Amino acid sequence: MEKSGNIQMPSGLTPPLDRELDPFILTVFGASGDLTAKKLMPALYHLYLQEGMPKDFIILGCSRTPLSRESFLYQMHEAVRLHGRADMYRWTDFASRLYYFGLHYDDLGNFRDLAQFLRDLDQRHRMQGNRLFYLAVPAPLVPVIAANLGGSGLSREFEEGTGWARLLVEKPFGHDLESARELNRLLLGSFKENQIFRLDHYLAKETVQNILMFRFANAIFEPIWNRQYIEAVTITAAETIGIEKRAGYYEQAGVLRDMFQNHLMQLLALSALEPPALFQGTQVQDEKTKVFRSLQPFPVDEWPGSLVLGQYGPGLMDGEPVRGYREEPGVAPDSLTPTFGALRIFLDNWRWQGVPFTLVSGKRLAEKRTEIVVRFKSIPYSMFREVIREPLPANRLTLGIQPEEIVTLQFQAKKPGPVPELQSVTMVFDYRAGSGAPLDAYEKVLLACLQGDHLLFWRQDGLELCWAFLTPILKACETCTFRSERLQIYPAGSGGPEAAGRLGAESGGRRIDDR
């Protein structure tokens, strides 16, 4: 029987800002879309309530939809009311800072009109020429908008009365290595690298940030954080949802591009990197890049032994029948797009040589869970073998990211009583036990971008190294003669393909449906 003990976090309010922010104008492209309504505008309003915004700021919505300012304000009010988590008592003051500008994304003349509109707003509200552009638009529009921001002069910094100019771009960052490089070339045609912020919201989750704090602020873990003491690491990002209304994107992407190229690679880097000289953007990014450079080339000729791909079929979720992937609207009835992947990789460096890292992600699984499981090596010799016949379980450290933001450490202790008997004991740190001001992932990335801090964002060299590793795998999977035979169908609501369960178990993880 397993026991647990809770570790309490000290109380105390954590302010969202450690320094004053510059005034700015945030221009949101795609302001009439779902991302703005469900994520971005609620995050901005909550930041405002938490005093995470400067005294002077303006938010300008832009999209191709013709809207009056009044109509835009009403839509944003309803978006925050429905999708936000804060009281609306200060909405009127917040809304006074919202404006709208209808825009054709492919019309440079229209962007010049936008530039004049922004200059007028800047002079009227004394924004000091600081501009942040958020591209909440489909991927094909990103280079078009970036080019017109450059062509209209809006990307220029610190000249003719302007301040800083920053571009915040959502994933995906390309479809493979070649397209990622081409996207970067187009972005750099208008913006410098230090102006570009490539957003991966996973990096802003509290427990993801806590990985580095946990590793490098505690003397008891870092000395054993290596191949001498660690047997295997499993990183899991399991989802219960299907593809919802994203068939057009997902049929082109699949699980490897959607989850492995970005989220899971970032979790791998944070789990494996060397200690940076300082906890600052450039230094941390440098150490991540070293991890990506050490990725051992994948054995593409023998990939079935290190990669399991699956696709969800019909099944039950919470007792209710759900359709399979091929029955989803917009999906081809003979689609071979994977919705599940389990990938075992190795790092060729001194610290991790020979330690398997298994990355697992899938949709329509039994449980929503994102976690990093570190399995330590078993004890080299058991002095209890005469009285305890069963093998002793290895110590296991679990860094829970969502939905439970917890850190657990499992170890062995004697069970009370006269008989020498061991039991597994789990110490638990619940991140939510603290009383700091809660900010969600989008609030944190907005705050970091406003501060000019790249710590929570991708850097292009890291992106290209990850694509260089993953692109040969994608080509091998998508051109394989036996592609249909190697794609394993698993019932919705299960733990995924059985072969993936075996692959994960070998690396110290646990099945998705293990409760």
Does 465 reside within a domain? yes
Which residue in 211, 204, 202 sits closest to 264, CA to CA? Answer: 202
**356: three-class secondary structure by DSSP:** coil
Q: The domain containing residue 287 runs over which residues? A: 203-381+460-506
Does 122 reside within a domain? yes
* Shared domain check, 228 and 156: no
Percentage of residues in the chain with pLDDT exceeding 70? 91
* Shared domain check, 243 and 138: no
Does 261 reside within a domain? yes
Number of domains in the chain: 2
* Shared domain check, 221 and 131: no
* Shared domain check, 355 and 293: yes
Tell me how far apart the alpha carbons of residues 167 and 431 are, in angstroms, rounded to a whole number: 32
CATH of the domain at 146: 3.40.50.720
* Shared domain check, 221 and 149: no
* Shared domain check, 329 and 370: yes
Percentage of residues in the chain with pLDDT exceeding 90? 58
Bond before 403 cis per omega within 30 degrees: yes
Question: 460 falls in which pLDDT band (50, 70, 90)?
Answer: very high
Backbone angles phi, psi at 441, to 5 degrees: -60, -45
**102: three-class secondary structure by DSSP:** strand
The answer on pLDDT for 150 being more than 70 is yes
DSSP strand pairing (369-376 vs 396-402) = antiparallel
Each residue's pLDDT tens digit, 440-450 = 888 988 999 99
The answer on pLDDT for 504 being more than 80 is no
The mean pLDDT value of the chain amounts to 87
Question: 8 falls in which pLDDT band (50, 70, 90)?
Answer: very low
* Shared domain check, 375 and 228: yes
Does 512 reside within a domain? no
DSSP secondary-structure letter at 466? H
Average pLDDT over residues 100-117: 95
Average pLDDT over residues 150-166: 88
pLDDT of residue 478: 81
Sheet with 422-430, side-by-side order of all strands: 3-7, 422-430, 406-414, 396-402, 369-376, 230-238, 357-362, 340-345, 307-313, 487-491
Each residue's pLDDT tens digit, 14-41 = 445 556 889 999 999 999 999 999 999 9
Contact 28, 145 (CB under 8 A): no
The answer on pLDDT for 154 being more than 90 is yes
* Shared domain check, 350 and 268: yes
For 3-6, the CB contacts below 8 A with 24+ separation are 3/423, 3/424, 3/425, 3/426, 4/408, 4/425, 4/426, 4/427, 4/428, 5/425, 5/426, 5/427, 5/428, 6/428, 6/429, 6/430, 6/433
Q: Domain end: 121, 150, 171, which one?
A: 171
Q: Lowest mean pLDDT of 25-29, 179-183, 416-420, name the range.
A: 416-420
Does 178 reside within a domain? no
Does 450 reside within a domain? no
CATH of the domain at 290: 3.30.360.10
Q: Domain end: 151, 171, 191, which one?
A: 171
The three state secondary structure string of 56-78 is CEEEEEEECCCCCHHHHHHHHHH
* Shared domain check, 287 and 328: yes
Does 419 reside within a domain? no
Amino acid (one-letter) located at 166: R
The answer on pLDDT for 194 being more than 90 is yes
User: Hey, which residues are catalytic here?
Assistant: 263
pLDDT of residue 352: 97
Question: 507 falls in which pLDDT band (50, 70, 90)?
Answer: low
Contact 214, 407 (CB under 8 A): yes
Tell me how far apart the alpha carbons of residues 313 and 324 are, in angstroms, rounded to a whole number: 4
pLDDT of residue 209: 75
* Shared domain check, 236 and 374: yes
pLDDT of residue 386: 65
pLDDT of residue 514: 54
pLDDT of residue 12: 33
The three state secondary structure string of 365-398 is ECCCEEEEEEEECCCCCCCCCCCCCCCCCCCEEE
Contact 399, 371 (CB under 8 A): yes
Q: Which residue has the tokens 């039991």?
A: 423
* Shared domain check, 499 and 364: yes
Tell me how far apart the alpha carbons of residues 117 and 287 are, in angstroms, rounded to a whole number: 42
Each residue's pLDDT tens digit, 252-289 = 889 999 999 989 999 999 999 999 998 888 899 999 99
* Shared domain check, 272 and 320: yes
pLDDT of residue 14: 41
Tell me how far apart the alpha carbons of residues 361 and 340 are, in angstroms, rounded to a whole number: 6
Does 118 reside within a domain? yes
